[in-house]
Amino acid sequence: MHETAVAQSIVETILVEAKKIDKKPIRAKISCGQFNALNDEVMEFAFDVASQDTACKGMKLEIHHVPLRANCKKCQNEFEFDIYSGSCPTCGNSEIEFVPDAPLLLEEIEFEDEDS
């Protein structure tokens, strides 16, 4: 449940941004890599809990999972890493190197427009 700490951090940031422009936040988009192990359901639940009693209540949270990529040390092919195969899909070699995993990012916040 590290999702709780992640959710709290997101809500804090959104509240700061919302205050700056004095608008109501309605949607946020986050992205994460494979090693952060964010679970969508748990994340959404944690976000709902963290946004209770704040201006974020009722917001929609979009979670984008960025695949993990790796390089084959033999044929230099870059590919999407599949944990169950663990080897290069082109040459079958299992000597690989990971491309750094995507960080946890708050990418975008959408606010309500004045006239809507």
Partner 1 sequence: MKVSLNKRILDRNDECAQKNKLFFEQNSVLCVNVISSPGSGKTTMLSRTILALKDKLKIGVIEGDIKTDTDAEKIRSTGAAAVQIETQGACHLSAVQVHDALTQIEAMDKDVIFIENVGNLVCPSAFDLGENKRVVLLSVPEGDDKPIKYPGTFAGADVILINKMDLILYIPFDLDRVLNDIRKVNPDAKVFKISAITGDGMQQWYDWLCDMTA
CB of 25 to partner 1, least distance (A): 9
SS3 9: helix
Distance CA 15, CA 1 (A): 22
CB neighbour list of residue 10: distance below 8 Å, 6 or more residues apart? 28, 30, 47, 50, 61, 106
Site string for partner 1, 9-48 (x = CB under 8 A): xx--x---x---x-x------x---xxxx-----------
* Site membership for Zn ion, residue 96 (CB under 5 A): no
SS3 43: helix
Cβ atoms of residues 62 and 28 within 8 Å = yes
Select from 92, 52, 47, 87 the least CA-distant residue to 70: 87
Identify the H or E element spanning 45.
helix 40-51
CB of 34 to partner 1, least distance (A): 7
* Site membership for partner 1, residue 94 (CB under 8 A): yes
Choice from 53, 89, 108, 115 touching partner 1 (CB under 8 A): 108
Cβ atoms of residues 28 and 10 within 8 Å = yes
Site string for partner 1, 74-93 (x = CB under 8 A): ---------xx-xx------
CB of 33 to partner 1, least distance (A): 8
Q: Which residues bind partner 1 (CB under 8 A)?
A: 1-2, 4-6, 9-10, 13, 17, 21, 23, 30, 34-37, 83-84, 86-87, 94-96, 98, 101, 103-113
